[in-house]
C-alpha cells in the first residue's frame, strides 16, 4: 500500500532553472507511487521581459495547457498551483489579478530575496549581529506575507538557514512564533519542504521545533519536494513523514480549488 503523501511543490522548464514538463512529473510520481502532485511554477512578474527564474507573462497560457495535458493523462492527480513570491509592490494589483485568472488549487507563498540565499557559515560577513538582523527581517516579511490573505501555503518557511547558518535557538523562540501566529490567523498551511536536506541547511524546511510550534497553533502541513527535475519527485518524503509525526502531526492538508481538507498521514 502506498504511504507517501502528495507532492505539492514542483517546477518545470518554464522556470528557466528547472527541467521537464508537468507530464514528466506526473509520470515520475506514478512510478514513485505518489498519488498526487501540484505544478507550482513561479508566477510571472510584470514588465519582466527576460526573467531568469520564472515564466514570462506570454508563457502563462502555455503553462496552463501543459498542466491540463498532465491532468488528462490520468497518471496521477495533478493540481494547478503556482508559487507566488511575496514582494510588497506586487500584492496590490498584480498578484490578485493573476490568482483570479485561473482556477488554482493552491498558491504557495515564498520569499526569495535576502542576503541569506548563498551565505555560508565561513563567510566573514556572517557575524552574529548580521545573522540576527537577517533572521529578524526574514520572519517579519513572512508574517507580512501571511497577512495579505493571498496565499494558501508557506513554502520553505525557514529557508533563511539555506546556506547552513542556523540562528540561535533563543532568537528563534523570540521571532518565529509571531510569524506562525500570523500564518495561523490567515488559515494557511506550511509545507515540509524536503529540498533542505540537499542544501547547506542539511535538514527539512521547517525544523522539528517549528513543526512542533505549528502543531500547538493548529497549523496544518503538506509536503513538497521543490523538485526542479522529475527525478526529484517525493525526495526524502520518508524522512519528512517521520519528522512530521515526531512533532505530533497526524494529518496533512489536501487542496482542491484553494480549499483545504485534512487527511490522515499514512
Domains of the chain in start order, with CATH, are 13-264 (3.20.20.140)
Beta strands in 132-181 (DSSP E): 153-154
Given this model, what pLDDT does residue 24 score?
Answer: 98
Give 45-56 pLDDT, tens digit per residue.
998 877 888 999
Band (114; pLDDT cuts 50, 70, 90): confident
Residue 155 in grid coordinates? 513554502
The sign of the dihedral angle between the CA atoms of 253, 179, 166, 245 is: negative
Inform me whether the pLDDT recorded for 2 exceeds 90. Answer: no
Given this model, what pLDDT does residue 57 score?
Answer: 94
CA separation for the pair 225, 185 (Å, rounded): 26
More confident residue, 118 or 225: 225
Q: Of all helices (H) and strands (E), which one includes residue 64?
A: helix 60-72
Q: Per-residue pLDDT averaged across 238-248, rounded? A: 97
Query: Within a 13 Å sphere around the CA of 193, how many CA atoms are in the beta-carbon half?
Result: 28
Percent of the chain with pLDDT over 90: 93
Judged by DSSP in three states, 249 sits in coil
Give 149-181 pLDDT, tens digit per residue.
999 999 999 999 999 999 999 999 999 999 999
Judged by DSSP in three states, 134 sits in helix
Inform me whether the pLDDT recorded for 1 exceeds 60. Answer: no
Given this model, what pLDDT does residue 94 score?
Answer: 95
Block residue for cell numbers 496552463: 64
Given this model, what pLDDT does residue 47 score?
Answer: 85
On average, the pLDDT of the chain sits at 96
Q: What is the pTM of this model?
A: 0.96
Q: Per-residue pLDDT averaged across 91-97, rounded? A: 94
Amino acid at each position: 500500500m502506498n504511504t507517501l503523501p502528495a507532492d505539492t511543490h514542483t517546477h518545470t522548464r518554464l522556470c528557466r532553472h528547472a527541467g521537464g514538463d508537468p507530464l514528466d512529473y506526473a509520470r515520475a510520481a506514478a512510478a514513485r507511487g505518489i498519488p498526487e502532485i501540484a505544478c507550482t511554477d513561479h508566477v510571472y512578474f510584470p514588465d519582466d521581459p527576460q526573467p531568469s527564474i520564472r515564466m514570462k507573462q506570454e508563457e502563462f497560457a502555455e503553462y496552463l495547457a501543459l498542466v491540463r495535458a498532465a491532468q488528462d493523462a490520468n497518471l496521477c492527480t495533478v493540481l494547478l498551483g503556482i508559487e507566488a513570491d511575496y514582494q510588497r509592490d506586487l500584492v496590490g494589483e498584480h498578484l490578485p489579478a493573476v490568482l483570479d485568472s485561473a482556477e488554482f488549487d493552491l498558491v504557495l507563498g515564498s520569499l526569495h530575496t535576502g542576503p541569506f540565499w548563498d551565505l555560508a557559515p565561513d563567510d566573514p560577513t556572517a557575524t552574529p549581529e548580521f545573522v540576527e538582523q537577517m533572521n529578524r527581517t526574514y520572519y517579519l516579511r513572512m508574517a507580512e506575507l501571511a497577512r495579505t490573505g493571498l496565499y494558501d501555503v508557506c513554502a520553505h518557511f525557514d529557508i533563511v538557514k539555506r546556506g547552513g547558518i542556523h540562528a540561535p535557538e533563543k532568537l528563534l523562540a523570540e521571532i518565529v512564533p509571531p510569524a506562525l501566529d500570523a500564518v495561523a490567523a490567515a488559515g494557511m498551511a506550511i509545507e515540509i519542504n524536503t529540498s533542505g536536506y540537499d542544501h547547506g541547511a542539511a535538514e527539512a524546511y521547517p525544523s522539528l521545533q517549528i513543526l512542533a510550534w505549528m502543531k500547538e497553533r493548529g497549523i496544518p502541513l503538506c509536503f513538497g519536494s521543490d523538485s526542479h527535475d522529475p527525478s526529484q519527485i517525493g525526495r526524502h518524503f520518508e524522512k519528512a513523514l517521520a519528522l512530521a509525526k515526531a512533532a505530533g502531526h497526524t494529518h496533512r492538508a489536501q487542496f482542491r480549488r484553494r480549499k483545504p481538507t485534512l487527511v490522515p498521514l499514512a
